[in-house]
């Protein structure tokens, strides 16, 4: 497990990351969410040891992380870039060798990964001859190739088409399933919601929410959708709820006092047929807007 404890980084007078703490647990995907300038990249660079730390610490398997540990992590930096003029396979092998892999083993592993991304025909091409999306896939392969002990990926999904997003997600899940903690940043909330077991929401350098996706959603207001066979205007009279919206025969209500939704249901059943009465789970986007506001 990777523990981030009170990480702080200042650039001049601005505090880019301010006492950020969260865990990246083994075997699951942790999504790192936040707007531009929230401090995601700065945090990841500190975790990788690329950027100095002004305060706090990073712990790996229960002790302070060392450069030796960090070298066995897989990392994909924010701005993409491998060697534009070097051939795809050659540079993957080179980077894996720097991580301590044997050339022959690296070559085989690189070919296997390229195949999974449908890039096996491009192994001999120069990187700059590939589309940006394909370059990004190569970039991710570079981070995964040496079977890292942890994965830190800055915006791995940006710029990928839906098919590539799926194969990337599969690959990340697979790596996580071997017991590896995976942290990736994104501002595509729907994607994070779909993929992640846990997420950390960052805003202006601080963690504003973190936990499992369901856990975070349950923190949101509890709402029920009501659909009747006649006008639903009467809900405005019920106590203990807040009426978010009434539109003819349907209504959306927020429960203010526990149990008030049962009163609504009884009243509705007494007045006629109830077509629908269901809790509405807030989308992560709503939670995000609320906590990051």
Partner 1 sequence: MTTTLTPPQTSVTDEPVAGRAAWTLVARREVVVKLTDRAFVIGTVVTLVLIAAFMGWQAWSAERTSTYTVAATSADRAMADRLASSATGIDDKVEVGVDPVADDAAARALVTSGDADAWLHRVDGGWVLTSDTESQDDLTRVTQEVVRQATLEQQAGELGTSVERLEAGSRVTTSLLTGDAEKAGLAQGVAFAFAFLFYIATLTFGITLANSVVEEKQSRIVEIIATSIPVRQLLIGKIVGNSVLAIAQMVLYAGVGLVGLSLTPYASLVTAVSGPVVWFLVFFVAGFVALAALWAVAGALASRTEEVQSTATPLTMLVMAVFFGSLFLDGTAKVVASYVPPFSAVLMPTRVLEGTAQWWEAVVALAVLVAAAVLVLRVAERLYRRALLQTSGKLSMKQAWVAPE
Say whether residue 66 binds partner 1 (CB under 8 A).
Answer: no
Residues 6+ away with beta carbon under 8 Å from 88 = 114, 119, 122, 123, 124, 125, 126, 127, 130, 138
Under the binding rule (CB under 8 A), the answer on residue 45 touching partner 1 is yes
Tokens 């994070």 belong to residue: 192
Minimum gap (Å) between residue 287 Cβ and partner 1: 31
Quote the least distance from Cβ 130 to partner 1, whole Å: 14
CB 111 within 8 Å of CB 87:
no
**CB of residue 174 vs partner 1: minimum separation in angstroms?**
6
Q: How far is CA 116 from CA 77, 110, 167, in A?
A: 22, 10, 8
Among 25, 59, 99, 206, binds partner 1 (CB under 8 A): 99
Residues in the chain: 293
Two tokens, residue 263: 């009163």
Q: Which residues are 225's β-sheet partners?
A: 252, 278
* Residue of the chain from 17, 138, 180, 199 that contacts partner 1 (CB under 8 A): 180
Question: Interface with partner 1 includes 79 (CB under 8 A)?
Answer: yes
Shortest reach from residue 3's CB to partner 1, in Å: 19
- CA 45 – CA 50 distance, rounded (Å): 5
Q: Which parts of 136-175 interact with partner 1 (CB under 8 A)?
A: 142-143, 146-149, 167, 170-171, 174-175
Q: Is 232 in the site for partner 1 (CB under 8 A)?
A: no
Closest approach of Cβ 155 to partner 1, in Å? Answer: 12
Total chain residues near partner 1 (CB under 8 A): 49
- 153 vs 216 by CB, closer to partner 1: 153
Is 208 within 8 Å of 215 (Cβ atoms)?
no
126 is a site residue for partner 1 (CB under 8 A): no
Please choose, from the candidates 99, 100, 1, 3, the residue with its C-alpha nearest in 3D space to the C-alpha of residue 47.
3
Q: Contact residues for partner 1 (CB under 8 A)?
A: 45, 48-52, 67-68, 70-73, 75-86, 94-95, 97-101, 105, 112, 116, 142-143, 146-149, 167, 170-171, 174-175, 177-180
């Amino acid at each position: 497990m990777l523990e981030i404890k009170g990480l702080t980084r200042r650039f001049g007078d601005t505090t880019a990351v301010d006492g950020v703490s969260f865990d990246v647990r083994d075997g699951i995907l942790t999504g790192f969410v936040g707007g531009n300038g929230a401090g995601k990249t700065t945090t990841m660079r500190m975790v990788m040891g690329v950027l100095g730390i002004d305060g706090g610490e990073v712990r790996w398997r229960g002790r302070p992380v060392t450069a030796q540990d960090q070298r066995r992590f897989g990392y994909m930096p924010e701005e993409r870039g491998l060697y534009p003029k070097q051939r795809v396979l050659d540079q993957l092998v080179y980077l894996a060798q720097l991580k301590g892999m044997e050339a022959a083993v690296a070559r085989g592993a690189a070919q296997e990964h390229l195949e999974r991304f449908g890039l096996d025909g491009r192994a001999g091409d120069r990187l700059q001859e590939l589309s940006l999306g394909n370059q990004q896939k190569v970039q991710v392969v570079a981070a995964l190739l040496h079977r890292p002990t942890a994965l830190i990926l800055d915006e791995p999904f940006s710029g990928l088409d839906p098919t590539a997003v799926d194969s990337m997600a599969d690959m990340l899940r697979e790596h996580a399933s071997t017991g590896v903690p995976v942290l990736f940043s994104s501002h595509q909330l729907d994607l994070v919601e779909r993929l992640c077991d846990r997420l950390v929401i960052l805003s202006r350098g601080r963690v504003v929410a973190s936990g499992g996706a369901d856990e975070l959603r349950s923190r949101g207001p509890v709402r029920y959708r009501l659909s009747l066979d006649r006008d639903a205007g009467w809900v405005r009279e019920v106590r203990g709820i807040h009426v978010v919206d009434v539109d003819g025969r349907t209504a959306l209500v927020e429960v203010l006092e526990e149990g008030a939704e049962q009163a609504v249901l009884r009243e509705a059943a007494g007045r006629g047929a109830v077509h629908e009465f269901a809790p509405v789970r807030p989308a992560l986007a709503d939670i995000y807007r609320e906590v990051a506001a």
